């Protein structure tokens, strides 16, 4: 089990090093090995990482199905620590898929509404779990959606509310990105 987990983690690391094809192959191998053990431990998390990698690699046919599988596992086994992030990723992937699927770079209203619902669900779950970092990520996704829709004031309000609740960690990637978005929205 641990070797399979390490294989997925290595794949994610390779992806962060821009070695997409090798990374996705490693992640798939690790997930297959993990499934062969019969354990569902961390599978939703790792499925989320694979879906995110596939989406960023512009392979938009598969990631949403992978996320649905991950969310079904969360419901089945109750391992909810990554649930908020799965919903956030689903919203992001819906928007990515919509932009790549049509002639327009602007996703249709139905997709925007679905993505917004996913981001709001992610925020709700993160708040229930008191998981500020997951909440920050979901708020950032929702705020970017609002920003792209011309709702800068609403976006800024959302980000300010969560950003002001942090007392440390301002050098982390997520909080630096939040600060940059707040500066953009000023």
Looking at the chain, list the stretches that DSSP marks H as alpha helix, in order from N- to C-terminal side.
2-16, 20-36, 43-56, 63-77, 83-101, 109-129, 132-148, 152-163, 173-185
Can you read off the two tokens belonging to residue 140? 């950032």
Percent of the chain with pLDDT over 90: 87
Mean pLDDT of all residues in 141-156: 97
| Predicted local distance difference test score (pLDDT) of residue 107 | 67
Q: Given a cut of 50, is residue 82 above it in pLDDT?
A: yes
Q: How far apart are CA 26 and CA 33, in angstroms?
A: 11
Q: Given a cut of 50, is residue 149 above it in pLDDT?
A: yes
Q: Give whole-number Cα distances, 133 to 56, 63, 84, 85, 127, in Å.
A: 21, 23, 10, 10, 10
**Quick check: is 21 in a domain?**
no
Q: Give whole-number Cα distances, 42 to 1, 46, 80, 121, 181, in Å.
A: 10, 6, 10, 21, 31
Of the pLDDT bands very low, low, confident and very high (cuts 50, 70, 90), residue 40 is: confident
**Quick check: is 101 in a domain?**
yes
In whole numbers, what is the pLDDT of the chain averaged over residues?
A: 93
Residue 165 belongs to domain with CATH number: 1.25.40.10
**Quick check: is 173 in a domain?**
yes
**Quick check: is 9 in a domain?**
no
Please state the separation of Cα 100 from the chain's center in Å. Answer: 18
Percent of the chain with pLDDT over 70: 96
Range among 59-68, 94-103, 106-115, 169-178 with highest mean pLDDT value: 169-178
Please state the separation of Cα 159 from the chain's center in Å. Answer: 17
Closest CA to 8 of 58, 52, 38: 52
Of the pLDDT bands very low, low, confident and very high (cuts 50, 70, 90), residue 103 is: very low
| Predicted local distance difference test score (pLDDT) of residue 106 | 64
Read off the pTM. Answer: 0.91
Q: Given a cut of 70, is residue 168 above it in pLDDT?
A: yes
| Predicted local distance difference test score (pLDDT) of residue 108 | 81
Q: How many domains does the chain have?
A: 1
Mean pLDDT of all residues in 44-61: 92
**Quick check: is 16 in a domain?**
no
Boundaries of domain holding 140: 40-185
**Quick check: is 10 in a domain?**
no
Q: Given a cut of 60, is residue 104 above it in pLDDT?
A: no
Q: How far apart are CA 117 and CA 134, in angstroms?
A: 16
Q: Given a cut of 90, is residue 128 above it in pLDDT?
A: yes
| Predicted local distance difference test score (pLDDT) of residue 2 | 92
């Amino acid at each position: 089990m641990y070797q399979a987990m390490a294989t997925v983690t290595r794949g994610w690391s390779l992806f962060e090093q821009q070695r997409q094809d090798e990374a996705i192959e490693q992640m798939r191998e690790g997930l297959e090995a993990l499934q062969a053990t019969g354990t569902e431990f961390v599978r939703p998390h790792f499925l989320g990482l694979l879906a995110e990698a596939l989406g960023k690699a512009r392979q938009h046919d598969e990631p949403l199905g992978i996320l649905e599988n991950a969310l079904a596992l969360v419901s089945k086994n109750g391992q909810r620590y990554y649930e908020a992030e799965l919903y956030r990723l689903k919203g992001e992937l819906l928007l990515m898929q919509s932009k790549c699927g049509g002639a327009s770079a602007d996703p249709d209203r139905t997709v925007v509404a679905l993505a917004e619902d996913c981001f709001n669900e992610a925020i709700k779950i993160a708040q229930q779990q008191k998981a500020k970092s997951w909440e920050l990520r979901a708020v950032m996704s929702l705020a970017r959606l609002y920003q792209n829709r011309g709702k800068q004031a609403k976006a800024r309000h959302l980000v300010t509310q969560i950003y002001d609740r942090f007392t440390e960690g301002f050098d982390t990637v997520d909080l630096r990105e939040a600060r940059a978005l707040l500066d953009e929205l000023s």
